[in-house]
Structure 1
């Protein structure tokens, strides 16, 4: 699949401002849509891939049934053989990519951007960018559609999910698979890892507890698999078959939260992911009877968890946001309603990460709805309205809202990566004010 401009090798930095080669904006919009469709539909093709694996096993291993209760099915794809670190060309640019499909702010001044040509990383607020696309992704192309979740663990340490890349082994007649790409040197070299018995798995989500400990949740036939690592991702051990499909967030080695039923349910675990319980959240009276899509859980210290939820009116299609908060590890939940004027109608339904919501702290939340930014500094008890300058025309014009403090944040306005340093009042193309 390709929805980008013909491949061109990025130019190396030359004296004076340099520009990055850019795909056409209409193509990157299509790539973004296709990336979302790919991630939404990836689970649907897992059954077909798993069928191929089953036939392969039946022919070669006597057709033993799959193991359960956390055991890895015997012979279900090649064992994880991490590839040696593969060197990435050192390519530095003195300009922010003009066309951006996805982006994220990891820490003040530190973040990433993706378009069809690659994955870019900055450590100086966008003054300079390095091309750090993993070789597996660069080889097949269309980075914005291949790269899934990106997790920043510590300076230089990054994990990401690469979908539909080619491997050296063939299972069920295909070499395509999902891999975890790991780097500890800021993307100069990458290590590719396949989760045990998961060559034919689908969409994968990550949650890290530090540079060495973390979890991976992979969609498989009928039921997802949860894995854990304690060595920085080099090796993974399957924890259990689980009823959730992600995203997920662990706050400790025992307590975690994840979505299930394609974003229609919230689950919690208190034993490191072996057992999960569905959590029934109280529906506010005004939204009783409406369908809900849960957003990705956010965890904070002291057992505090924040979960944004969209409720959709079946007649008007209006979508309104309620943010649920627990301060006792999930024993009780409070519903904090965003203002009724914060209608996010048009956001992709049943897609948890579609909502332009950010929670840089346990009490500071920001929500884009059309041309207005709704802000709270007291965990949703009161809200204020910010009129951004310039203002996006529609909710759908804003992607990847990401704040690391109440004042500093990034977002994508259509295809332009922008930043604010005053809580969302003024937005400008990244790094433009410091040139």
Structure 2
């Protein structure tokens, strides 16, 4: 939906949880530690690889990389892309990453680097005027998908089997029909997420119901389920998803228009997205990004323009711990978490006792 271009962004943030799995059980009190990126772009794309390596992307053709845990960030933006918005980036290591620019028609493009951003190759340029790509996700280093708003009444799925070097549009006959006005939100790079080698979920909004689509075969066939996230307006719906395995997931969203309330801005599933239950104590406002915390199986963090919230019970209840603006958040398996936002703002997450 075209309102996505106006969505506000978050800080390209790094967060390191310097604890062991055993220590993590006694850790409480998350907080953000701001860092400096040297840019003013709004950073909605985020892909941490490890404690030391992370990539972030955003407006004005910006792509950033850190290899020292966020102490310094390198601007590795593809040349000549200043008019593009890189709303999603997926990195494999310090050298290899794939970035997605969003927009109508040819503004939707995919770029890949194999040398840490020194050079980039444009590997896909959309030639369908009605397509508008929102998000990118990978199952492994070779297999990945990108999703577009509906074309001819169905969400459009792009697939790669060589790490983003080449792409093809998948047949749409396995995709359920979209509702009138239904689309994705390019707000945090989390409207398309994977778990395991074959499962992928797609978040949607802008229609009379906020829904989540699920594929068990890498995007060839899909099912769809209603959620409890607010809907019924082009600015409302599911903005971000996070799955810690094939069954347990969290959805966040609401109404992104400033000053408007967003009750029921989070929902949880325990059956892979077949059914969704509203959070008993949801975040107090619209949230655009969400991630599970490593080594804390029931802990997750959600972020948005008005604050950050934490849950310790799998998404049933949430507590605000910060009131700063962030758009996206992500963690890695080696106990590092990162978040990103507006004005090139960066933060690192730490856990106190």
TM norm structure 2: 0.68
Q: C-alpha distance in 1, partners of 2:37/2:199? A: 38
Q: Give the aligned partner of residue 419 of structure 1.
A: 347
The alpha-carbon deviation at position 192 of structure 1 amounts to 1.0
Could you list the runs of 5+ residues in structure 2 that have no partner in the other structure? 9-35, 185-190
The alpha-carbon deviation at position 311 of structure 1 amounts to 7.0
Secondary structure of the 1:295 match is strand
Secondary structure of the 1:303 match is coil
Q: How much is the aligned-residue C-alpha RMSD, in angstroms? A: 4.1
Q: C-alpha distance in 2, partners of 1:211/1:251? A: 14
Q: Which has the higher helix share?
A: 1
Q: Give the aligned partner of residue 5 of structure 2.
A: 36
- 1:87-236 aligned at under 5 Å gives the runs 96-97=37-38, 99-102=40-43, 104=46, 106=48, 107-111=50-54, 112=56, 114=58, 116=60, 118-137=62-81, 141-142=82-83, 145-163=84-102, 176-194=106-124, 198=128, 201-219=131-149, 221-222=151-152, 223-236=154-167
Equivalent pairs, count: 300
Residue 217 of structure 2 is aligned to residue 274 of structure 1: no
Deviations 1:20-51 (A, max 9, x none): xxxxxxxxxxxxx9972399xxxxxxxxxxxx
Please tell me whether the aligned partners of residues 160 and 168 of structure 2 are also in contact (alpha carbons under 8 angstroms): yes
Q: C-alpha distance in 2, partners of 1:276/1:253? A: 16
Q: C-alpha distance in 1, partners of 2:7/2:308? A: 29
The worse-fitting range, judged by mean Cα deviation, of 230-239 and 180-189 is: 230-239
Please tell me whether the aligned partners of residues 304 and 325 of structure 1 are also in contact (alpha carbons under 8 angstroms): yes
Residue 252 of structure 2 is aligned to residue 308 of structure 1: yes
RCO greater where, 1 or 2, for CA within 8 Å and sep 6 or more? Answer: 2
Deviations 1:186-211 (A, max 9, x none): 21221212268648743242110121
Structure 2 residue aligned with 1:399, among 313, 326, 330? Answer: 326
The alpha-carbon deviation at position 185 of structure 1 amounts to 2.1
Secondary structure of the 1:207 match is strand
The alpha-carbon deviation at position 100 of structure 1 amounts to 3.8
Q: C-alpha distance in 2, partners of 1:208/1:380? A: 24
TM norm structure 1: 0.57
The alpha-carbon deviation at position 417 of structure 1 amounts to 1.6
Please tell me whether the aligned partners of residues 120 and 132 of structure 1 are also in contact (alpha carbons under 8 angstroms): yes
Secondary structure of the 1:415 match is helix
Secondary structure of the 2:5 match is helix
Q: Give the aligned partner of residue 270 of structure 2.
A: 327
Secondary structure of the 2:120 match is strand
- Cα pair distance change 1:307/1:236, threshold 3 Å: same
